[in-house]
Amino acid sequence: MLQLAELFSLAGKSAVVTGGAKGIGQAIAMRFAEAGARVLITDIDEPAVRGTAEAIRASGHSCEAMTADAANPDHGQEVVRQASERFGRLDILVNNAGIFPFTPALQITPEQWDRVLNTNLRGPFFFSQAAAKAMIAAGHPGRIINIASIDALHPTGALAHYDASKGGLVMLTKALALELAPFGILVNAIAPGGIATPGAAAAAQHFAQLAGGSEHAAASFLARLPLKRMGDPDEIARVALFLASSAADYITGELIVVDGGYLLS
């Protein structure tokens, strides 16, 4: 039987975290590196992704950076190739990069729709496909973790494209879990609620502008939260670590909601 420390160790494993420069992705990269994984973070923000990797290395852990667009299937293949080359193997892919541009449904353009769906759903499929092919070719099992949202279960308003993408990501998680189980690849998802990140702060401001500059929307979100506070990115990272670890060896196709009780209210 594994000891408790071994259960949550990622020693000897390698991981890719998309959108790892900031917010939830950064927190996941930090926890994975602390747990002993060799981590490659990818992002479209080149200075930020390099800065985060340097900060993680400065704390004594392993982390490398790469500029890549999570919406681009070719980048998915290159990221997986780089991870396999740099680390000798790829064990864990976290599809974290995502965008949430508040826009009323009646104003969403085909270009905006495609940008959100390509980043949040199409890209994660092709990154997962590339990672799964590499894991299968290497002949060892692996993990894919998709960062969905409570919006996959309950619409926020002015996010029809986002809600559709995250709903799709949850079903993609289940579909891939079923097809990849014979290869020992486990696929799970996390549905964060309101998490205090740079992206969430910018989105809240945008949402307030849409609501006529009022702070009402953010205040009513907080009022509805049973725990009465936004989540910390590390509170998602801890669950990602659980799903990546041996503690979750018998879990696949699942969605774990981490929302401070928001969906209860």
Ligand X SMILES: NC(=O)c1ccc[n+]([C@@H]2O[C@H](COP(=O)([O-])OP(=O)(O)OC[C@H]3O[C@@H](n4cnc5c(N)ncnc54)[C@H](O)[C@@H]3O)[C@@H](O)[C@H]2O)c1
In the complex, the residues that contact ligand X under the rule CB under 6 A are 18-19, 21-25, 43-45, 48, 69-71, 96-100, 119, 147, 149, 192, 194-195, 197-200
Closer residue to ligand X in complex, CB, 142/231: 231
Least distance in Å: CB of 162 to ligand X? 7
The crossing angle, in degrees rounded to 10, of helices 160-180 and 123-138 is 20
Closer residue to ligand X in complex, CB, 15/147: 147
Closer residue to ligand X in complex, CB, 98/168: 98
Buried b or exposed e, range 164-189, using 16+ CB within 10 angstroms: bbbbbbbebbbebbeebeeeebbbbb
Least distance in Å: CB of 140 to ligand X? 26
Least distance in Å: CB of 130 to ligand X? 15
Closer residue to ligand X in complex, CB, 73/184: 73
Per-residue tokens: 174? 């289940």
Least distance in Å: CB of 149 to ligand X? 4
Least distance in Å: CB of 213 to ligand X? 21
Active site residue 162: yes
Closer residue to ligand X in complex, CB, 10/152: 152
Catalytic residue, candidates 162, 207, 242, 262: 162
| Residues noted as catalytic | 162
